[in-house]
Amino acid sequence: MPFRVLATDRVSKKGLAPLREDDRFDVVLIKDSSDPEFASGLKTAAGLIVRSATRVDSSLLDGAPGLKVVGRAGVGVDNIDLAAASERGVAVMNAPSGNTISAAELTMALMLAVARRVTVADRSIRQGRWERSRLQGVELRGKTLGVIGAGRIGWEVAQRCRAFGMEVIVYDPYLAAERVDELHPKLVPLDRLIESADIITLHVPLNSETRGLIGEGTLARMKKGAFVLNVSRGGVVDEAALARALNEGRIAGAGLDVYEHEPLSPDSPLLDAPNVVLTPHLGASTKEAQIQVALEVARKVRTALAQGDLSSAVNASDVANAAGLS
Ligand SMILES: NC(=O)c1ccc[n+]([C@@H]2O[C@H](COP(=O)([O-])OP(=O)(O)OC[C@H]3O[C@@H](n4cnc5c(N)ncnc54)[C@H](O)[C@@H]3O)[C@@H](O)[C@H]2O)c1
């Protein structure tokens, strides 16, 4: 009997090829998890692949007695109750690298839009104005980019900015040794980065160390006229403090894709702050990224079901504990 794998939330069909083209799997695509067929399919499913819309909680898991693995086509697993999955011995796998290039390219788009006031200029021209001198921008060439978090995305952004003739400095206390060797001359302490970068770009996870990393104190120490970009996670930037710094002209612009509360509230002070470019969490929203994340997770689900290899699960040790294996 092939392993039945249910895929929902419009996961890329093309990206599911590793499972669809393998006789050991029977892949069932159901657009929306509210479809009654989804609940009936779950009863016999060994694998489930979701994006962010389906909430994988205890009640869903209780309806899937044979489930061994949940794959999340994307990075965050906020829509999956990890504790409930671990208790039931269900491995949870994500796809952290499939959207790296898309997120790095969106960072470049925000950087250029802020530097050349693209969205402000677009609004102005639609309002019947022709404001060439008011909309003067700055070049990226020769500017110092401060990358906070030089993992997959931060690294790709750094490479692209070098091609723009920028000086790149990096703060990342957890970089792997090879990366440190490679970057050594450019690796700087956080204080130095904050004080010397013209553009600061954030590519860190959200945790107790990074929450509010860009807040009143750090904003006060930035160069006058600096820009801040955040395509990482909301909460890393204190939005009220950033809006104040922009309104007071201490910071010249910001580009944000992620927010403490999503969707962004219509009352957010960022909406009235000058030279801010806002996008609604679009970092991974490209055709290519959606295929890549589905491919990445489909391969992991294949290995997990066909070979029993759960080592790439985000809850691998908890699942092993639940099974009494460690
Ligand atoms: N906007 C989007 O749609 C989108 C898309 C993909 C990823 N992301 C987010 O972007 C962020 C980066 O993703 P990634 O794939 O590059 O992750 P990654 O794990 O490859 O890199 C994160 C880097 O941050 C570093 N880091 C951790 N704590 C730090 C700290 N306190 N100070 C400085 N550096 C620190 C780590 O050492 C690591 O090198 C994540 O938060 C991810 O969730 C957002």
> Which residues, other chains included, contact 243 with Cβ-Cβ below 8 Å and sequence gap of 6+?
268, 269, 270, 272, 273
Q: Tens digits of per-residue pLDDT, 80-121?
A: 999 999 999 999 999 999 999 999 999 999 999 999 999 999
Nearest to 69 by CA among 10, 9, 17, 6: 6
3-state secondary structure 113-144: HHHCCHHHHHHHHHCCCCCCCCCCCCCCCCCE
CATH superfamily of 3-96+287-322: NAD(P)-binding Rossmann-like Domain (3.40.50.720)
| Distance from residue 231's CA to the centre of ligand 1 (Å) | 9
Pocket of ligand 1 (CB under 6 A): 75-76, 96, 99-100, 103, 148-154, 171-175, 203-205, 209-210, 231-233, 257-258, 281, 283-284
DSSP assignment of 278-314, as one string? E-SS-TT-SHHHHHHHHHHHHHHHHHHHHH---TT-T
pTM of the model: 0.92
Question: For the residues 21-50, what does the mean pLDDT come to?
Answer: 96
Residue 240 near residue 269 (C-beta atoms within 8 A): yes
Q: Read off the tokens for 133.
A: 């001198």
| 322 — pLDDT class (breaks 50, 70, 90) | confident
Q: Is the pLDDT of residue 325 over 70?
A: no
Residue whose CA is closest, atom 38 of ligand 1?
151
Question: For the residues 302-319, what does the mean pLDDT come to?
Answer: 95
Active site annotation includes 281: yes
Active site annotation includes 262: yes
Nearest to 4 by CA among 68, 82, 88: 68
Pocket test for ligand 1, best of 182, 211, 232 (most atoms within 8 A of CB): 232
Task: Indicate which atom in ligand 1 lies nearest the CA of residue 154.
Answer: 16
Alpha-carbon distance of 149 to 163, in angstroms, equals 19
Active site annotation includes 134: no
CATH superfamily of 100-278: NAD(P)-binding Rossmann-like Domain (3.40.50.720)
Q: Tens digits of per-residue pLDDT, 234-293?
A: 999 999 999 999 999 999 999 999 999 999 999 999 999 999 999 999 999 999 999 999
Q: Which range (179-188, 193-202, 243-252, 287-296) has the least confidence? A: 179-188
- What are the start and end residues of each CATH 3.40.50.720 domain in the chain? 3-96+287-322, 100-278
Q: Read off the tokens for 256.
A: 């944000």
Task: Indicate which atom in ligand 1 lies nearest the CA of residue 236.
Answer: 41
Active-site residue (options: 281, 296, 299, 302):
281
Q: Read off the tokens for 293.
A: 């994340």
